[in-house]
Each structure stands twice: as C-alpha cells, then as structure tokens.
Amino acid sequence: MKDSIKLQANQVALNGTLKVPGDKSISHRSIMFGAMAKGKTTVDGFLLGDDCLSTISCFQKLGVDIVVDGHEVTITSDGMESWKEPDEILDTGNSGTTTRLMLGILAGSNIHSVLVGDESIAKRPMKRVIEPLRQMGAKISGRSGGQFTPLAVQGTDLKAIDYTMPVASAQVKSAILLAGLQATGVTIIREKEVSRDHTERMLRQFGATVNCKDGVIQLQGGQKLAATHVEVPGDISSAAFFLVAAAIAKDSSIRLEKVGLNPTRTGIIDVLKNMGAQLEIEVEPDTEDKEPIGSVSIKTSELHGIEIGGELIPRLIDEIPIIALLATQANGTTVIKDAEELKVKETDRITAVVEELKKLGADIVATDDGMIINGPVTLTGGVLKSYGDHRIGMMGAIASVISTGPIEIEQASCISVSYPNFFEHLRNVSTSETLR
Ligand SMILES: O=C(O)C1=C[C@@H](OP(=O)(O)O)[C@@H](O)[C@H](O)C1
Ligand SMILES: C=C(OP(=O)(O)O)C(=O)O
C-alpha cells in the first residue's frame, strides 16, 4: 500500500455485501492460547493484519510452531514449558494488545524476554498492567520505572490476586487472567464497567473454568489449556466503518455478513439505533461460549444527535473516531463523554479526530473526556493526517463518501494494522468509477 492515498469526492451510493476480515482481538488470542495449550490448535478466519502478524512473530521467536495458510492458522505446541528463551527481542509492532497480553503470559513462564514495539507503543502506558502483575510477584522492568517499553520480563512463580480494575480495559483484565492461569490460588478481578470478554470465552473454549458474575471474574490457577479449533468472526470494529458509510452516503444499502456480535462489542449498533439508523440484524443461533455472530444490514438514514457515555464507552471504544464522523451528519448535538481512554490509544484520538474533522469543516470541539459535535454539516475535501493510526486513517477515507472535494490520507499504510483489504472493500461497495 503506498503511503499517501487520494480519494476523489464520492457523493454516490454505496451498495453491496461484504465480509469484513477476522476480529483482531480474537485473532491475537487464538495464537496466544494455542501457544499456551498442548496439542494442535487450528484457527479459521484469522486476521492477517499487521498487529496479529506481530503476535505470530513473537510466538515464533519463542519456538512455537505456527503455520499460516491464507486465513487458516495451525499452532502446534507442547505447552509453555516447551518454549525457548528468545535470543532476540520480541517485536510487538504497533499492537497494544500484543504488548500487554504478552506481559501477563511471560510473567509466569520460565524464560527471560524483552518486549519492544514501535514509536506509538513506546508512548502507551504499561504501568496499568505491570502494577497488578508485580502484585502477583512478576519480575518486570522497563523504561521510567517500568512505565514504558522496552520492557524486560524474567518469568517467575506467581500468586493469585484480588484486583479491582481502576480503568475499563480488556487488555489489563486479560493480562491478569493469563498470569492468573499460571499462579497459585484463585485470581479475582472486579470490573466496574464490563470490557470485552473474549479472553473469558476463549479460556473456556480451551477447557478452563472461569466464573463470571456481576462484574466479578474468578479463575483458579494451575489449569492447563487443551488445543482446540477457533472460528474467528468478522471484526465489528472494522464493520463499523461500512455501517457508518452506508448510513451517511445517499441512496445506500450495505449488508455485512458473519460479523461478531458479542454484546461487549456492540455499542456501535446501539449508537446507530439510538441515532435513528435503519438497521437490521440477523443473529445466528448461539452455541455455548462461542462468539455470537450474525449479519447486519443498513440503509441511508435520517440521523439525530445523542449523548454517548458511561458503560457504553468500553463497548465501542475503538469505534469513536468513526462515530464522530457519523455525528457530523446527524441533526443536532452529539456529546461523547467518559472516553479519556482515547488519549492513550495508537495516538491521542480525541485530538486527532477533532483536528482532522475540523479540516473538513466539521463543527466539533474537544473536551477533557471526549468531544461535542453539531450537525449536519457538509464536509469539504482536504489533506488529512492519519497519525499512523489505522482507525483515524479509515475515518478520513470514509469521509470521502460524502465530501465535496477529494480527501488525501497521509500515512495510509497504517490501515493494514487491522483492515488490510479496506480500500478493496471500499471500491467493491462504491458505485463510483473514481473509486474503482
Ligand atoms: O483486549 C483487546 O483485544 C482490546 C482492548 C481494547 O483496549 P483497552 O483494553 O486498552 O481498552 C481495545 O481498544 C483494543 O483495540 C483491543
Ligand atoms: C487500540 C487498538 O488496538 P491496540 O490497543 O491493540 O493497539 C485499536 O485497534 O483501535
């Protein structure tokens, strides 16, 4: 993918059916759990995005046999005890999920390792994970007293903790659970707001017992994982870009098939419905702890502004950039609050979203914990920065379906972090020749 992409103004209809790539959170976990389990784990629908490839490369450096054949991945492992001490750094690339979950896994291993990511990862807070892991006995050191990468982990024996989450974060929760799996005693995690529960579900799929009730998660240490088969649903965070595109472009209708509909991830559906979008959902019958999937169809919609905050935020945290674009086309005011976490993503997403949408003429202001957007506003063209953040890049690209002038996205190659065939899909649903 070339690093700057210019999209012509495309005030045309979007139509068609798409199958978005595999869920990023679930793809990461399938490799991690497969590497920890004994036996052969097979994964179908794996996301070949840069972040998930970073996870694969880390485990290959630990000596785990991983074979990628298109979207099918096979992981063959003799369990954690068989991993080798890596003689080079583990490069987590741009991936917060890889960095934080690896810390939890490696903390209880019998090896020494060093984790380094890119310049965005070097700025992202790691103390939120390292603090509880240290309470469990983990030996982790790093820059600025262990706040940032590079981080060194000396695997050691761990003991369970009872931990109340200070922030709603599935990465922190998952790191503690993965360390807890190796610890002596019962690890207890208390969540005030429920974050995505893919780790809890997948632990069960790999044969572990995890109890979740009223925001309290309990996991007995010492349980061994058994290899299994993982089906990865389409990523609702990727689907969100096309749901918004069809809602705001004229005369449009898009159907997205085999999308993950885990209730801890469907905040975007709630927002679209609450704003008045014409949306239809067909859920496929649920099977125990497997991830729920279904199809979502959406048409051009008359939208109105709403308030978005509280427990909804963790259920749509990665969708806020594209929700901001959606809000520029809604009648009235949309307030997004309680979303301070956006400041510590791949970039400060509050600043990035507000600055870039303003360049297109949006009526948007940043607040301490979110943003306020007034609509509807006709968006112009412009040259937008992606800040090397895939979700900001895709937000800018989707703006071109309604903008009056061309939109150029700088550093557009970052989009392959989560959606490598994004532009191909945008072309597929576009009825415009300029996008083809
Ligand atoms: O656990 C995960 O797979 C993720 C959790 C979220 O991060 P936080 O846990 O930092 O909220 C999310 O933003 C990220 O894209 C993926
Ligand atoms: C925040 C994200 O991912 P990560 O934290 O894994 O880098 C994201 O995909 O939007």
Task: Write the CATH number of the domain with boundaries 4-22+233-435.
Answer: 3.65.10.10
Q: Is the pLDDT of residue 425 over 80?
A: yes
Q: Give the pLDDT confidence of 223-274 residue by residue, as tens digits.
A: 999 999 999 999 999 999 999 999 999 999 999 999 999 999 999 999 999 9
Q: How far apart are CA 417 and CA 283, in angstroms?
A: 28
Q: How far apart are CA 418 and CA 28, in angstroms?
A: 11
Q: Is the pLDDT of residue 434 over 70?
A: no
Task: Say what the pLDDT of residue 288 is.
Answer: 66
| Atom from ligand 1 closest to the CA of residue 169 | 9
- The half-sphere exposure of 81 on its side-chain side, counting CA atoms within 13 A, is 6
How many angstroms does the Cα of residue 265 sit away from the middle of ligand 1? 11
* 29 labeled part of a ligand binding site: yes
Q: How far apart are CA 61 and CA 86, in angstroms?
A: 6
- Assigned token pair, 211: 């109890």
Identify whether the C-beta of residue 339 lies closer than 8 Å to the C-beta of residue 309: yes
DSSP state of 325: H
Task: Say what the pLDDT of residue 219 is.
Answer: 98
The DSSP bridge partners found for residue 293 are 260
Q: Give the pLDDT confidence of 96-109 residue by residue, as tens digits.
A: 999 999 999 999 99
pLDDT, the chain, mean: 96
Taking residues 311-337, report their average pLDDT: 98
Residues classed as catalytic: 318
- Assigned token pair, 353: 């979203």
Task: Say what the pLDDT of residue 436 is.
Answer: 44
Q: How far apart are CA 139 and CA 344, in angstroms?
A: 24
Global pTM exceeds 0.95: yes
> What distance lies between CA 304 and its chain's CA centroid?
27
Which residues of the chain form CATH 3.65.10.10? 4-22+233-435, 24-231
Task: Say what the pLDDT of residue 433 is.
Answer: 53
Q: Give the pLDDT confidence of 34-77 residue by residue, as tens digits.
A: 999 999 999 999 999 999 999 999 999 999 999 999 999 999 99
Task: Say what the pLDDT of residue 9 is.
Answer: 80
How many angstroms does the Cα of residue 171 sit away from the middle of ligand 1? 5
Mention the CATH class of domain 24-231: alpha beta
Q: Is the pLDDT of residue 368 over 70?
A: yes
ipTM > 0.90, yes or no: yes
pLDDT range class, residue 1, cuts 50, 70, 90: very low
Query: Which sign does the torsion angle of CA 340, 346, 348, 349 carry?
Result: negative
246: which residues sit within 8 A by CB, 6+ positions away? 14, 252, 253, 254, 298, 299, 300, 429
Taking residues 293-320, report their average pLDDT: 98
How many angstroms does the Cα of residue 219 sit away from the middle of ligand 2? 25
Q: Which ligand is nearest to the CA of 345?
A: 2
Taking residues 198-227, report their average pLDDT: 98
Q: How far apart are CA 126 and CA 146, in angstroms?
A: 7
Ligand 2 atom 1 nearest Cα? 345
pLDDT range class, residue 290, cuts 50, 70, 90: confident
Taking residues 115-125, report their average pLDDT: 98
Task: Say what the pLDDT of residue 153 is.
Answer: 98
* 6 labeled part of a ligand binding site: no
Taking residues 205-234, report their average pLDDT: 98
